[in-house]
Structure 1
Amino acid sequence: MRANIVVDVGNSRIKWGLCGPDAVRETCSLPPDEPTAWRRQLELWSAARGPWIVAGVHPTRRDQFIEWLRREGQNVRLLEDPGDLPLRVLVARPDHVGVDRLLDAVAANSRRTSGIPAVVIDAGSAVTVDLIDGSGAFAGGAILPGMRLMAKALHDYTALLPLIPVPDRGPTVPGTDTPAAMELGVFWSVAGGIVALLREYRAFCRSQIEIFLTGGDGGRLHAIIPEAQLWPEMTLEGIRLSAEALS
């Protein structure tokens, strides 16, 4: 099935991708609960009728969005079952793995060098650091809090710490006031965790690995992991490729 528009419903944003013959060629990021913004974008892409292929990690928002599309007269297909993806999954319960992680693996397989393992870092509300083995199978991974979630937890579960913005790049060392110290801790908790996991994956694979970086905070982390291929549309491309594999 060839998708015309692919949609990734995340925890904090809904991302749309307008598909060309062999790639996602235009994207937008919209609020998860504002049909007015969705309708404006739909009008901008007025020539783009379905099929829409929708996937996501927030079931309630995903289903609300699908219902809205159907009320707008759109042809929609939900991509949810791991068995529908062109991917082997080497974990005990594939149905318990977030579909975004599997879609990222599908996309990685379209670019990784044959026989070389790959690691996909998806840095969003949560950060996932997943391993695709040399045969292209999803082998599992790690999940850790994203920067915004960590900053919010520091504010919500302490009496005096403020709610800080996520730093655009690695903060100056050392932090010379409380917000600066928090920014430093939040940034390097995520960045340092990823760097440590990459070291562990290299040791596990006993070989070189290729690294892909995506998600809302991917750009912030790229300077720390310059060898990674930064691919903002990675999950959307995984949806498009998976749709192509459907009968």
Structure 2
Amino acid sequence: MKLLLDAGNSRLKWAIVERGAEPVTGAVSPDEEGLSELAGRIVAEGAPERVALVSVRDAAFADQVSGWCVRQGLPSPFVVRTGRGAHGVWPAYAQVEALGTDRYAAMVAAHRLFEGPLVVVDCGTAVTIDALDEHGRHLGGLILPGLSLMRRSLCAGTAALPDVDERRISSLAANTVDQIASGTVLGLASAVDGLCERVTEVMGPAVPARVLTGGDAALIDAHGRLSYAWRPWLVFQGAFFIMEGDACDPWRSC
């Protein structure tokens, strides 16, 4: 049994993976309260023999997770690091450590799971778009604000616009809250579509597969006009591959 952790800007996503069983997944807050909640789930599911951590947070958080593992009687976490070629992906960054490990893990997984050139789109707090050629060479990428940041900026930067939760999305909404909800979702979907098309134009003649992941991926998949392969657990799959080497994909074949 493996415990996979993906520490993003807003949430700590987790997956408990065991061969022959569907992975158990969830999310908690990235703090002691969230780790305490996760400890309860581990008691219910059983103790993992390995732990992998993908984190965009600071080193102090990795230390916090390591201390938590010690208190739970778990092995020290395998901390995923961005590498150059070690896992089939060659980042375009001159300083590879500057590329977020979540993006790296997602690209590693996508390159293992799909053939040919790829555009990997991760829709989280920020939206990242990364291009890979068929050999795993990272050609570069783009970053833009995610859905929650777009909505918070509207709320914070105006005098009377409200914060919104999920609503019915409409091309022409008839009240302010629905207009904000619809405008941000459709605007982000259009932005992702348009940027993917631009990236594709400069990648060469072969049409890349577009792989979509992240917390808001379902909205982009539903409201975008391009075709995407939705893989919600792509970062976990990358962490599993990196930690286990030439292992199977637990979401497909274990």
Tell me, yes or no, whether TM beats 0.5: yes
- Contact 2:170–2:182 (CA under 8 A) maintained in structure 1: yes
What displacement does 1:146 show?
Answer: 0.8
SS of 2:210's partner is strand
Matches within 5 A, 1:63-212: 63-75=63-75, 76-83=77-84, 85-86=86-87, 87-113=89-115, 116-167=116-167, 171-205=169-203, 206-212=205-211
What displacement does 1:156 show?
Answer: 1.2
Query: 1:240/1:208 Cα in 2 relative to 1: closer, same or farther (>3 Å)?
Result: same
Gaps spanning 5+ residues in structure 1: where?
Answer: none
The one-character-per-residue Cα deviations of 1:63-90 (angstroms, maximum 9, x if unpaired) are 3223212222211221224259512112
Distance in 1 (CA, whole Å) between partners of 2:134 and 2:48 is 38
- Contact 2:155–2:161 (CA under 8 A) maintained in structure 1: yes
| Partner residue in 2 for 1:51 | 50
| Partner residue in 1 for 2:218 | 219
| Partner residue in 1 for 2:16 | 18
SS of 1:150's partner is helix
Query: 1:40/1:226 Cα in 2 relative to 1: closer, same or farther (>3 Å)?
Result: farther
Q: Which letter maps to 2:154?
A: L
The one-character-per-residue Cα deviations of 1:34-91 (angstroms, maximum 9, x if unpaired) are 2331121111222x33221111112244432232122222112212242595121122
Distance in 1 (CA, whole Å) between partners of 2:13 and 2:238 is 13
- Contact 2:119–2:210 (CA under 8 A) maintained in structure 1: yes
What displacement does 1:227 show?
Answer: 2.1
Gaps spanning 5+ residues in structure 2: where?
Answer: 247-254
Q: Which of 1 and 2 has higher RCO (CA within 8 Å, sep 6+)?
A: 1
Identity of aligned residues (%): 27
What displacement does 1:160 show?
Answer: 1.1
Provide TM-score, normalisation by structure 1: 0.88
- Contact 1:148–1:166 (CA under 8 A) maintained in structure 2: no
Distance in 1 (CA, whole Å) between partners of 2:244 and 2:85 is 11
Q: Which letter maps to 2:24?
A: E
What displacement does 1:102 show?
Answer: 0.6
- Contact 2:39–2:72 (CA under 8 A) maintained in structure 1: no
Provide TM-score, normalisation by structure 2: 0.86
Q: Which letter maps to 1:17?
A: A
Give the aligned length: 239
